[in-house]
Amino acid sequence: MAILLILNPISGDIDKSNFLKVLKNKLGKKVNTLNIFKTTGKNDLELLKQHLQEHTYNKVLVAGGDGTVKLAAECLLNTSIPIGVIPLGSANGLATDLELPTTLDASINVALGQNTRKIDALFINGNLCLHMSDLGINAALIKSYERSSVRGKIGYLFAGIPTLLNNKNPQNFSIETNEQKLIRHGIMLGIANSRRYGTGALVNPEGIIDDGYFELLIFKELNIKEIIKTLRDEKSYNSSFLEIISCQQAKICCETPTDFQIDGEYLGKISSVEIKIEQKALNIMI
């Protein structure tokens, strides 16, 4: 058995030495090879692709946040090599969405276990999206947070207040799916491969991450009561707050250039997106 561990030394501001100790103890003599690929933040994608061309592994473990999981996913798309996620980032959206355990011991057990699930991958304007993307107010919040000098939840809150006050205006989104053409008015349009945001908000209760479908979530207004429902895991939303459209392919045009994010990474303002799905393209340990 040969394992590659992709380790982000800085993710989540977490020292990874304890994790490495626990992992090595658990592995004992069960593996012949444990190679560690430490990310540097420079050319990681090219270097990892090259490493994977030159070596053969039975499993790849990822210790980091969403960005590091995505790095692994980009290299392992449409292969059967399972990815074991150990959520050690400041944002662990995919792990939260897949309901992976949060304690170190349990998450290592899952990553080293036998259960796998093949999940769908979305491509939005050619960029890989593993769980959630959106156009509008949430992406604007991520932009303000990335530019703010205050980190953590307090930073998100501080950065968020002026953004929320300046972004109350809804706009028209033109939507063309594989089945229909529509125009919808909203403050934000979400593109969901799965069910919840990394914060835990359950915005797409019927979403299934391996069914070959994704959902467009049209948030029509900023309704605090309904937002609290998503955080409480309630499943029924007022249709004047949220409309959900399930599809296999879509093109969305915005009235004006709009803030855009994929899996928590701000990608600038854009006027249109094209979304495609590849069913069961990634094999994840669950």
Ligand X SMILES: Nc1ncnc2c1ncn2[C@@H]1O[C@H](COP(=O)(O)OP(=O)(O)OP(=O)(O)O)[C@@H](O)[C@H]1O
Q: Which residues bind ligand X (CB under 6 A)?
A: 8-12, 39-41, 64-68, 89-91
- Amino acid symbol at 63: A
Query: Cβ 38 to ligand X, closest distance in Å?
Result: 7
Instruction: Give the nearer residue to ligand X in terms of CB position, either 28 or 41.
Output: 41
Instruction: Give the nearer residue to ligand X in terms of CB position, either 146 or 179.
Output: 146
Query: Cβ 27 to ligand X, closest distance in Å?
Result: 22
Contact call for residues 73 and 83 (beta carbons, < 8 A): yes
Instruction: Give the nearer residue to ligand X in terms of CB position, either 11 or 107.
Output: 11
Query: Cβ 185 to ligand X, closest distance in Å?
Result: 32
Long-range Cβ contacts of 22-25 (<8 Å, 24+ apart): 22/104, 22/105, 22/108, 23/61, 23/86, 23/108
Q: Name the residue among 2, 112, 1, 111 with its Cα closest to residue 55.
A: 2
Query: Cβ 277 to ligand X, closest distance in Å?
Result: 23
Long-range Cβ contacts of 98-105 (<8 Å, 24+ apart): 98/194, 98/209, 98/284, 98/286, 100/286, 104/18, 104/19, 104/22, 105/22
Residue 128's Cβ-side half-sphere holds a number of Cα atoms within 13 Å equal to 20
SS3 75: helix
Query: Cβ 93 to ligand X, closest distance in Å?
Result: 9
Query: Cβ 84 to ligand X, closest distance in Å?
Result: 15
Instruction: Give the nearer residue to ligand X in terms of CB position, either 12 or 205.
Output: 12
Instruction: Give the nearer residue to ligand X in terms of CB position, either 132 or 216.
Output: 132
Contact call for residues 134 and 219 (beta carbons, < 8 A): no
Instruction: Give the nearer residue to ligand X in terms of CB position, either 55 or 151.
Output: 151
Q: Name the residue among 111, 12, 15 with its Cα closest to residue 67.
A: 12
Residue 202 is classified by DSSP as B
Instruction: Give the nearer residue to ligand X in terms of CB position, either 151 or 232.
Output: 151
Residue 284 is encoded by which pair of tokens?
């994840």
What is the C-alpha to C-alpha distance for residues 181 and 198, in angstroms, rounded to an integer?
30
Query: Cβ 208 to ligand X, closest distance in Å?
Result: 25
